[in-house]
């Protein structure tokens, strides 16, 4: 019946509902009906956690035996490199929101294509914060490279635009949202190596295409702008950025641009062979279609989350919360052992590892582990409460204490 059909095509084959609707020419005239259909199919597609995986030993075993590991990474793995993420309280959007120079309706306008065409100065005033110059890969980047060296990396799908994957030597990588490695003129379409942007980016200037005729200089125009009617409704004048149209744009995907066909092609291939999914340094919020990658992966494939905060819509088998660098350092040094050593970097030299290295805490007897920098919030609090209710002997004992007790008992 209908339920089997949805489970087969939406659940097992992971075909997005909107594609099925288009294929059969189905159009919902009722928005409520559309939402109901999507909610139903989403509940059918929701993955059940694989309960045989719970411990750090399970994580180590998965890393050792898996041969086609897909890594989905985000801005969180570059924070220790000095590149801010986007949505945290100290992230790029908050920096832009706190700036008095630009009065934006939404900080995400910085990455809106039409807004960039009209006012590129906003983007280039902040681009140096995320430009890869003078930044080096983090331990998390080197961990992904270690997977590749061990011939275990199927592909690194990165949402980052800083190109630090290339700096770490990762070759099997798809930069889903592009990078600063290349730039294109919006007027003539000529493509240039990304290095052409560096001087202007660091000086916070709008880079101009060297092959297009130079623009005639003229003062910025003044336009009348209606103020918020709640503030009195007075008209005010503001500058319009009259930048030349032959501007260079880095080859990163802005809002309003679609991802390359290569993303869909590779994902179709990789979902057939992946045997382990690791999500690192990303909340998987807002930005589609990358945030929908989870729905394309067969439910039988184990999933590990390495992130500072939980992802409530991801039912990962093992959840490792904390700073990504601290987590991969611990896994490689304590759980995986010889052959998994990570290189020394100036980043680790600036933040030396405490001796002895802090031991992660397990939340009760669950699949959730807390490392340095973890921000578990209500997710961990509710889980601890549920664990205590089901097994009062656990209480709030730390993982270290329980391990010590077990060692003495054995």
Q: Is 177 a catalytic residue?
A: yes
Distances (CA, A) of 168 to 135, 340, 342: 11, 16, 12
Beta bridge partners of 237: 224
Structure tokens at 12: 């097992």
First to last CA, the chain: 54
**SS3 letters across 122-177:** HHHHHHHHCCCCCCCCCHHHHHHHHHHHCCCEEEEEECCCCCHHHHCCCCCEEECC
Task: Count Cα atoms within 13 angstroms, Cβ side, for 257.
Answer: 19
Q: Is 164:78 a contact under the CB 8 Å cutoff?
A: yes
Q: What is the DSSP string of 45-85?
A: HPPPP-TT--SHHHHHHHHHH-SSEEEEE-GGGTGGGT---
Residue 273 CA to residue 287 CA, distance in Å, equals 25
Closest CA to 312 of 363, 395, 368, 267: 368
Q: Where are the alpha helices (DSSP H) in 219-277?
A: 261-270
Strands 276-280 and 303-307: parallel
> Collapsing DSSP states into helix, strand and coil, what is residue 370?
strand
Beta bridge partners of 252: 178
Closest CA to 180 of 199, 205, 197, 167: 197
Distances (CA, A) of 270 to 1, 145, 163, 303: 30, 18, 22, 15
Active-site residue, from 141, 142, 177, 367: 177
Known catalytic residues are 177
């Amino acid at each position: 019946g209908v339920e089997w059909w949805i489970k087969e095509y939406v659940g097992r084959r992971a075909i997005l509902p909107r594609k099925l609707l288009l294929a059969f020419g189905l159009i919902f005239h009722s928005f409520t009906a559309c939402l109901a259909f999507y909610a139903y199919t989403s509940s059918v597609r929701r993955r059940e956690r694989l309960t045989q995986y719970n411990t750090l030993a399970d994580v180590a075993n998965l890393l050792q035996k898996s041969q086609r590991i897909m890594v989905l990474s985000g801005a969180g793995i570059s924070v220790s490199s000095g590149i801010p993420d986007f949505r945290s309280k100290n992230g790029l959007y908050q920096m832009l929101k706190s700036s008095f120079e630009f009065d934006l309706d939404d900080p995400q306008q910085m990455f809106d294509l039409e807004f960039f065409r009209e006012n590129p100065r906003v983007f280039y005033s902040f681009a140096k914060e995320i430009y890869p110059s003078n930044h080096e890969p983090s331990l998390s980047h080197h961990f992904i490279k270690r997977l590749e060296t061990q011939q275990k990396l199927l592909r690194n799908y990165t949402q980052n635009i800083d190109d630090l994957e290339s700096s770490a030597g990762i070759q099997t990588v798809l930069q889903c949202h592009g990078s600063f490695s290349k730039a294109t003129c919006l007027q003539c379409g000529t493509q240039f190596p990304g290095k052409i942007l560096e001087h202007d980016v660091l000086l916070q200037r709008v880079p101009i295409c060297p092959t297009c005729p130079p623009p005639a200089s003229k003062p910025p125009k003044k336009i009348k702008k209606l103020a918020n009617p709640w503030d009195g409704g007075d008209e005010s004048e503001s500058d319009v950025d009259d930048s030349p149209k032959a501007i260079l744009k880095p080859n990163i995907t802005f809002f309003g641009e679609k991802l390359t066909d290569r993303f869909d092609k590779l994902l179709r291939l990789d979902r057939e062979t992946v045997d382990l999914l690791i999500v690192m340094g990303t909340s998987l919020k807002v930005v589609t279609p990358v945030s929908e990658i989870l729905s394309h992966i067969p439910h039988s494939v184990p999933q590990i989350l390495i992130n500072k905060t939980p992802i409530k819509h991801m039912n990962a088998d093992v959840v490792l919360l904390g700073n990504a660098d601290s987590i991969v350092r611990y896994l490689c040094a304590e759980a995986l052992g010889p052959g998994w050593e990570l290189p020394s970097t100036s980043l680790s030299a600036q933040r030396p590892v405490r001796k002895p290295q802090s031991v992660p805490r397990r939340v009760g007897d669950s699949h959730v582990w807390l490392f340095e920098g973890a921000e578990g919030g209500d997710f961990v609090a509710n889980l601890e409460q549920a664990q205590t209710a089901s097994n009062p002997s656990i209480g709030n004992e730390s993982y270290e204490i329980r391990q010590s007790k077990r060692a003495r008992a054995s």
